[in-house]
Amino acid sequence: MYLVQFLLLSSILFCIGVYGVLARRNAVLVLMSIELILNAVNINLIAFGAFNGAQIPAEVFALFIIAVAAAEVGVGLALVLTIYRNSKSIDLHQVDLLKG
Amino acid sequence: MITAVASMVSAPVLGAVVAQNVFFYLIAAVMVIAALRVVTTSNIVHAALYLVVVLAGVAAQFLLLGAEFVGITQVLVYIGAVIVLFLFGIMLTRAKVGNEDGLDHDNVIPAILTAVLLVLVMGYAVVDFAGDEEIDVLGNSPTTVEQVSDSIFSTYIVAFEAISVLLLAALIGAIVVARKE
């Protein structure tokens, strides 16, 4: 297998995630797109680790990223829930309290 | 004669490499299609279920690269916990289960342009940087859970403690933010 296979797959997933973040207006779908981006990064880490023969540090940092992503989803969904409770909608167009 | 022997010796290795590539492209195709469905489907529950396919594909790629422990953790944490969290979020914020309008912005052309431009730039950079670098997964020494845990609890102990505190802070923060007054 070539390194570039994994890097290209990860770039494509990353860009699909970026598209999701930009194009979706439902907050939960935006969080899902962010998960796509984080997973793309993890593929990169593991692929470079296998390529360099430094698998252990790569795996450790991939595990750390998985932990951070789980924490991020927990807090993110709590915020979405609070927004829903306050404005009865999670349409990101309507979250404009700070807009001047 | 010598080449025949050599081909007999290397035949299993070659077969393994071919199998690796076949599975890589199969899984990658499924992942990309499912990821596109995640960001385009008009049913928010389907989006969560397509996300399961993508995350399982990522776990399979980890296994292909010889990172078994990370692959299993991916299945446990993402498919086991994060997806359930997403489904709870969907359930608590939207009673409607089914197709609905208004999930996308009115004008998605700039988003498509940005994503395509980004993939072109990144693809060019990646191919230019690593065009013919090979990953020798079969030649790598297999990693054990023991090695990973030894590394976490010695070399990366500070990062591990930081992650622990972060998880605790996120847990308490999520409870405080989402709690009813």
Each residue's pLDDT tens digit, B108-119: 889 999 999 999
Contact B35 A74 (CB under 8 A): no
Taken in order of first residue, the domains within chain B and their CATH numbers are: 1-99 (1.20.120.1200), 141-181 (no CATH)
CA atoms within 13 Å, Cβ hemisphere of B98: 2
Region B124-134: mean pLDDT is: 86
Closest-CA residue in chain A for B148? A56
Question: By mean pLDDT, which of A3-17, B105-119, B159-173 is the weakest?
Answer: B105-119
Between A17, A57, A84, which is nearest B151 by CB? A57
CA distance B80 to B95: 23
CATH class of segment(s) A3-87: mainly alpha
Between A64, A71, A81, which is nearest B178 by CB? A81
Does residue A63 register a pLDDT over 80? yes
- Do residues B21 and B40 touch, judged by C-beta distance below 8 A? no
Confidence of residue B96 (pLDDT cuts 50, 70, 90): low
pTM of model > 0.90: no
Report the SS3 class of residue B134.
strand
- The amino acid that residue B102 corresponds to is G
Q: Where are the domains of chain A?
A: 3-87
Does residue B1 register a pLDDT over 70? no
Residue in B44, B82, B91 to test binding to A, most A beta-carbons within 10 Å: B82
Does residue B87 register a pLDDT over 70? yes
- Give residue B70's pLDDT: 93
Contact A80 B170 (CB under 8 A): no
- Do residues B60 and B71 touch, judged by C-beta distance below 8 A? yes
- Give residue B98's pLDDT: 61
CA distance B29 to B42: 21
Contacting residues of A for B175, CB less than 8 Å apart: 78
- ipTM confidence score: 0.91
Q: Count H helices, E strands: chain A? A: 3, 0
CA distance B5 to A13: 43
Using alpha carbons only, what angle is made at residue A66 by residues B165 and B159, rounded to the nearest 5 degrees?
A: 40
Tally A–B CB contacts below 8 A. Answer: 250
- Do residues A31 and B40 touch, judged by C-beta distance below 8 A? no
Beta bridge partners of B134: A2
* Per-residue pLDDT reduced to its tens digit, B19-75: 888 999 999 999 999 999 999 988 888 999 999 999 999 999 999 998 899 999 999
**What number of other Cβ atoms are within 10 A of residue B112's Cβ?**
12
